[in-house]
């Protein structure tokens, strides 16, 4: 299932491939499942007032067609935040009237460029401008064709952010008590606030919101090792230098207590530049209590990310322990 989720191509605004996997996966676990008007997937046994929401976003970083130039090459903008150098030489799929494949290349001599910018890149589909215009329009979204590898301890693949969160939700689905909603959300990568999660939460009015996310591990050469692989899930204490949510101390202490009780190693994360859906949910309505529980991954937003299997398993164990407190 992790392989299928990782290899699915689902850029923001075009989450269909992952949505289908979640709809089928939650239904197989015996949950009620529906797609709301915004495209979010909602799975639950029953819903009352002020449910608890656990959310993982379905979308991934990608591209959006800006225009087709005079020579028939696609110029594009980024969907989500990443270094455009990671796109160079990648195969991509654009979801137009039909799926159109292409290769990302750079205009001019790469050795003469101090830094590659998105405007320097183009997509070569092999089609003429006239042929492309019949299939692709400005605003059409696309994503990178990825690979997936597995060893005894690690997995490597595209879009582990946040397909690991989606996988965790599927794994804990059988343990969901009443008045808990598992959500696959849309359009997180194109907004710090998580558009889909905010819209769904406004309607559901949750008593608590948990972003089931990934945390960027910085334990590779040159990193600070504040978050590392193999050392357990990360509890996000604050986001974007505390401009976003600052989790209530009792939430952190509660998860630390559960982790200690279950014998799970955990890490505490304070982010400086990034945010999860929990960031803005914290500020919605009268203030929705929110926190992010994340699986560490290396090389976040690079189209080839890495995770430790034990961290994934321990994230599942921690959230199962949390759900037992709600029964």
Do 132 and 261 lie in one domain? The reply is no
Which residue range(s) make up the domain with 232? 2-60+158-325
pLDDT at 37: 92
Give the separation between CA 275 and CA 190, rounded to whole angstroms. 12
Do 220 and 104 lie in one domain? The reply is no
Do 319 and 175 lie in one domain? The reply is yes
Catalytic residue among 60, 171, 188, 239: 188
- Tell me which DSSP letter residue 132 carries: H
Whether 151 is covered by a domain: the verdict is: no
Whether 222 is covered by a domain: the verdict is: yes
Whether 150 is covered by a domain: the verdict is: no
What's this model's pTM, rounded to 2 decimal places? 0.94
Do 83 and 127 lie in one domain? The reply is yes
pLDDT at 241: 61
- 260-279 b/e (C-beta count within 10 Å ≥ 16 → b): eeeebebbebebeebbbbbb
pLDDT at 242: 66
Give the separation between CA 30 and CA 238, rounded to whole angstroms. 35
DSSP 107-131: SS-GGG-SS--GGGEEEE-S--HHH
Sign for the pseudo-dihedral over CA of 190, 223, 156, 33: negative
User: H or E element: which one contains 257?
Assistant: helix 249-262
pLDDT at 252: 86
Closest CA to 142 of 38, 19, 10: 10
Under a CB-based contact definition with an 8 Å cutoff, are residues 297 and 164 in contact? yes
Which class for 191: exposed (0-12), middle (13-18), buried (19 or more C-beta within 10 A)?
middle
List, for residues 184-213, the tens digit of each pLDDT value: 999 999 876 678 899 899 899 999 999 999
Closest CA to 293 of 326, 323, 327: 323
Do 25 and 98 lie in one domain? The reply is no
- Assign residue 165 the CATH number of its domain: 3.40.630.10
Do 140 and 277 lie in one domain? The reply is no
Which class for 322: exposed (0-12), middle (13-18), buried (19 or more C-beta within 10 A)?
buried
pLDDT at 307: 98
The tally of domains found in the chain comes to 2
Active site residue 193: no
pLDDT at 193: 63
Do 67 and 37 lie in one domain? The reply is no
pLDDT at 244: 66
pLDDT digit string (tens) for the chain, length 327 residues? 999 999 999 999 999 999 999 999 999 999 999 999 999 999 999 999 999 999 999 999 999 999 999 999 999 999 998 999 999 999 999 999 999 999 999 998 777 667 889 999 999 999 999 999 999 999 999 999 999 999 999 999 999 999 999 999 999 999 999 999 999 999 999 876 678 899 899 899 999 999 999 999 999 888 887 899 999 999 988 887 666 666 667 888 899 999 999 999 999 988 877 888 888 887 777 778 888 999 999 999 999 999 999 999 999 999 999 999 998
Whether 149 is covered by a domain: the verdict is: no
């Amino acid at each position: 299932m992790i392989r299928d989720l990782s290899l699915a191509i689902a850029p923001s605004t075009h989450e269909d491939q992952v949505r289908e996997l979640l709809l089928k996966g939650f239904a197989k676990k015996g949950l009620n499942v529906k797609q709301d008007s915004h495209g979010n997937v909602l799975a639950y046994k029953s819903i009352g007032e002020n449910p608890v929401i656990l959310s993982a976003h379905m979308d991934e970083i990608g591209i959006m067609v800006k225009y087709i130039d005079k020579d028939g090459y696609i110029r594009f903008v980024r969907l989500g935040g990443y270094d455009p150098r990671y796109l160079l030489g990648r195969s991509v799929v654009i979801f137009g009237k039909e799926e159109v494949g292409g290769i990302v290349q750079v205009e001019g001599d790469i050795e003469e460029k101090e830094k590659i910018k998105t405007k320097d890149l183009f997509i070569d589909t092999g089609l003429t401008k006239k042929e492309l215009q019949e299939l692709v329009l400005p605003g059409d979204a696309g994503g990178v064709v990825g690979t997936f590898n597995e060893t005894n301890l690690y997995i490597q693949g595209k879009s582990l952010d946040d397909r690991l969160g989606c996988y965790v939700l599927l794994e804990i689905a059988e343990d969901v008590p009443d008045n808990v909603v598992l959500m696959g959300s849309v359009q997180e990568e194109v907004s710090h606030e998580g558009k889909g999660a905010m819209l769904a939460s406004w309607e559901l009015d949750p008593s608590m919101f948990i972003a089931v996310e990934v945390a960027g591990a910085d334990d590779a050469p040159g990193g600070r090792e504040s978050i590392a692989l193999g050392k357990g899930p990360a509890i996000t204490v604050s986001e974007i230098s505390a401009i976003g949510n600052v989790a209530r101390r009792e939430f952190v202490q509660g998860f630390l207590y559960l982790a200690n009780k279950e014998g799970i190693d955990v890490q505490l994360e304070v982010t400086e530049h990034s945010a999860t859906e929990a960031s803005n949910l914290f500020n919605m309505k009268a203030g929705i209590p929110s926190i992010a529980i994340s699986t560490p991954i290396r090389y976040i937003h690079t189209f080839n990310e890495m995770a430790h299997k034990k961290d994934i398993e321990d994230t599942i164990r921690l959230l199962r322990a949390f759900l037992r407190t709600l029964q």
